Amino acid sequence: MTPLTERYLTQAELFTAVVDAATDWTAPSPCEEWTATDVVEHVVSTQRGYFDQRGAHLGDLPGDDPSTRWHTHLRQVRDVVADDGFATTEFDGYFGRTTVDELLANFYGFDMTVHRWDLGQAVGVPVTFTDDELDRIEQAVDGLGEMLYSSGACKPPLEVPDDAPRQQRMLGRLGRS
**SS3 letters across the chain:** CCHHHHHHHHHHHHHHHHHHHCCCCCCECCCCCCEHHHHHHHHHHHHHHHHHHCCCCCCCCCCCCHHHHHHHHHHHHHHHHCCHHHHCCEEEECCEEEEHHHHHHHHHHHHHHHHHHHHHHHHCCCCCCCHHHHHHHHHHHHHHCCHHHHCCCCCCCCCCCCCCCHHHHHHHHCCCC
Residue 79 above 90 pLDDT?
A: yes
pLDDT at residue 146, as a whole number = 85
Share of the chain above pLDDT 90, in %: 88
pLDDT at residue 16, as a whole number = 98
CATH 1.20.120.450 residue window(s) in the chain: 3-127
Instruction: Give tens-digit pLDDT for 129-167.
Output: 999 999 999 999 998 888 888 766 788 899 999 999 999
What does the mean pLDDT of the chain come to?
A: 95
> Domain 3-127: which topology?
Four Helix Bundle (Hemerythrin (Met), subunit A) (1.20.120)
Mean pLDDT (whole number) for 32-47: 96
